[in-house]
Structure 1
Amino acid sequence: MATPRDAVQPITSRSVVEQATDELRRSILAGVLAPGEQYSLRELAGMLDVSFIPIREALRSLEGEGLVITRPGRSAVITPLNLDDLHGIYRLRRTLEPEIAGRACGLLTEQELDRLDAQAAGFGLRERGMADIYDGHDAFHLALLAPAATAWDIRVLTLLWRAGERYIRIGFGRLDPDPAEHERRRKAHVDLVAAFRTRRAATAAAAVEQHLARNEKIAIGALSAASGA
């Protein structure tokens, strides 16, 4: 008699659906697939050189992340940038992240703080724009919060970070040509690590709150500029 172990096949490579989802997500977050633009399944399948089926499954996942809006007739619209959505993302982030930071600052080891301090310093290199540092940027913030974050905290924060990523990439990308912005970026993240190193919950929470407020302000400015407001 066959057992579940016999029936379940080991995974030897990433599925086409997973690969399609990751590449479409990357293209949306980077702005390659522009907000508000409509694409047919045929267009997307042609871009990725796959069949309709993995594209359809990928779009279902991305719709759940708020990145696309599927339309009847085999098409999808890249979710437009929206000021109310941006405020909502940051309202939820300010509810969660400072509180987690207040607990995490007492749990991080000195070795981990040293590692994060070195990573923060790297964010200020002039040759590194926002597109170059973004994946490491998310990992940096997750590492600061991880000791006190539950699995559900991480799931929710990951969703919020992905939802806000387009706004942040656009906002900070507009500032990349300014050499002073790179030093500010370095200092902002080094200061975060220093706040956590105090081991004082109120200090770490306030630093995260200030960091979020600054990011939201820059994202709002970018959104206003993009809309011509």
Structure 2
Amino acid sequence: MVDQATDELRRAILAGTLAPGEEYSLRELAGMLDISFIPIREALRILESEGLVISRPGRSTVIAPLDLDDLHGIYRLRRTLEPEIARRSCVLLTDEELDALDAQAAGFGIREHGMADIYEGHHAFHLALLAPAATTWDIRILTTLWRAGERYIRIGFGKLDPDPAEHERRGKAHVDLVAAFRSRDPDTAAAGIEEHLSRNERIALGALGDAPHS
């Protein structure tokens, strides 16, 4: 029940159904999920460790606001970790793995698929690019950073979904990323990751213009 409550609340926060800055009582959240207080309380502890909620003992829980400094911090850490792992991973990925990633990347450009439709696959795509050279701790830290940044990305890219050209660009950006890894050149792979992160951060920064933040 704790896992179920954690997954459902996390999904609602990342999708924006539980909006940044909104305040909820334990009773309200339990009622939404039709789950007792105990698993909700444990789920909130987990989500607080992920930076998604702020718990106020004896009071309510606040969905963590979107914050400019937090966003910069997330991407600063990602730029520290991901290009370095990419340098090593690009020479370890097999041709078969790159072919599969190429096909997945092209799928991100399907016009009918919005950000909400592709995000889980998007997470798995980036993990697969880095996994051959990533340690358990690398993956643990990156997963935390990806989850922390997911709300910004979903909001920012979600605003671009109505533009058909954005879907084409989205697919091409990921195909180009696979090509950078396929070069087997560490500098090219690292540069591909850095360029990808820079664009995502710019889109996420744009999301802060209209969303509640601290």
- The two structures have a TM-score, normalised by structure 2, of 0.98
Specify which structure has the bigger relative contact order, considering alpha-carbon pairs within 8 angstroms and separated by 6 or more residues: 2
The aligned residue for residue 165 of structure 1 is: 150
Q: C-alpha distance in 1, partners of 2:83/2:5?
A: 34
Q: Secondary structure at the match of 2:162?
A: coil
Fraction of identical pairs, as percent: 81
Could you tell me which of 71, 76, 79 is aligned with 1:91? Answer: 76
From 169, 185, 198, the equivalent of 1:184 is 169
Partner of 1:36: 21
1:227 CA drift (Å): 5.3
**Contact persistence 2:66–2:212 (CA under 8 A):** no
List aligned pairs for 1:189-204, cutoff 5 A: 189-204=174-189
Instruction: Tell me if structure 1 keeps the 8 A contact 2:66–2:211.
Output: no
Q: Quick one: which of 60, 64, 67 aligns to 2:49?
A: 64
Larger Rg: 1
Distance (whole Å) between structure 1 residues aligned to residue 62 and residue 11 of structure 2: 16
Q: Which runs of 5+ in 1 are unaligned?
A: 1-15
Corresponding residue SS for 1:66: coil
Q: Which amino acid aligns with 1:183?
A: E
Unaligned ranges ≥5, structure 2: none
1:23 maps to what in 2? 8
* Displacement of 1:73: 2.2
Provide the rounded CA distance (Å) in 2 between the counterparts of 1:207 and 1:225: 29
**CA root-mean-square deviation:** 1.0
Corresponding residue for 1:142?
A: 127
Query: What SS does the corresponding residue of 1:106 show, helix, strand or coil?
Result: coil
- Once residues 212 and 47 of structure 2 are traced to their aligned partners in structure 1, the CA distance between those partners, rounded to angstroms, is 24
Instruction: Spell out structure 1 runs of 4+ moving beyond 6 A.
Output: none
Mapped to 2, the partners of 1:92 and 1:81 lie a distance apart of 17
Distance 2:66 2:138 in 1: 25
